[in-house]
Amino acid sequence: MEGLVLALLGIILAPMAGGLLAGTDRRVTAWMQSRQGPPILQAFYDVFKLFGKERLMVNRWQVLCCWIYLIAAALSVGLFFGKADLLLIFFVQAAGAVFLVMGALSVKSPYSQVGAQRELVQILTYEPLLILVFAGIYLVVGSFNVGDIMAYDAPLLRKLPLMFIVLSYALTIKLRKSPFDFSTSHHAHQEIVKGVLTEYSGPALAIIEVAHWYETILILAVCSLFWATNWFWMIVLLAATYFAELVIDNTMARMTWRWMLKYVWSIGLALTFINFIWLHAG
Question: What is the structure's pLDDT at 190?
Answer: 46
The boundaries of the domain holding residue 105 are: 2-281
Per-residue model confidence as pLDDT tens for the chain (282 residues): 778 899 999 999 999 999 999 999 999 988 988 888 889 999 999 999 999 988 877 788 888 999 999 999 999 999 999 999 999 999 999 999 999 989 888 888 888 888 888 888 888 888 888 999 999 999 999 999 999 999 999 999 999 999 999 998 888 888 877 777 766 655 444 444 567 787 888 898 899 999 999 999 999 999 999 999 999 999 999 999 999 988 888 887 777 778 888 888 889 889 999 999 988 886
Contacts of 155 (CB under 8 A, 6+ apart): 226, 227, 228, 229, 230, 233
Instruction: Tell me how far apart the alpha carbons of residues 227 and 208 are, in angstroms, rounded to a whole number.
Output: 30
Question: What is the structure's pLDDT at 151?
Answer: 92
Question: What number of other Cβ atoms are within 10 A of residue 136's Cβ?
Answer: 23
My answer on whether omega of the bond before 179 falls inside 30° of 0, hence cis, is yes
Look at phi and psi of residue 178 and say left if phi exceeds 0, alpha if psi is from -120 to 50, else beta. beta
State the DSSP code for 82.
T
Query: Position 42: which residue type?
Result: Q
Helical packing angle, 161-174 and 231-251, nearest 10°: 50
Write down how long the chain is: 282
pTM above 0.85, yes or no: yes
User: What φ, ψ does residue 196 adopt, rounded to 5°?
Assistant: -60, -20
Instruction: Tell me how far apart the alpha carbons of residues 163 and 183 are, in angstroms, rounded to a whole number.
Output: 25
**Cβ contact 169:264 at 8 Å:** yes
How many structural domains does the chain have? 1
Q: How many CA atoms lie within 13 A of 69 on its CB side?
A: 26
Q: What is the DSSP string of 160-193?
A: -HHHHHHHHHHHHHHTT-TTS--S--S-TTT-SS
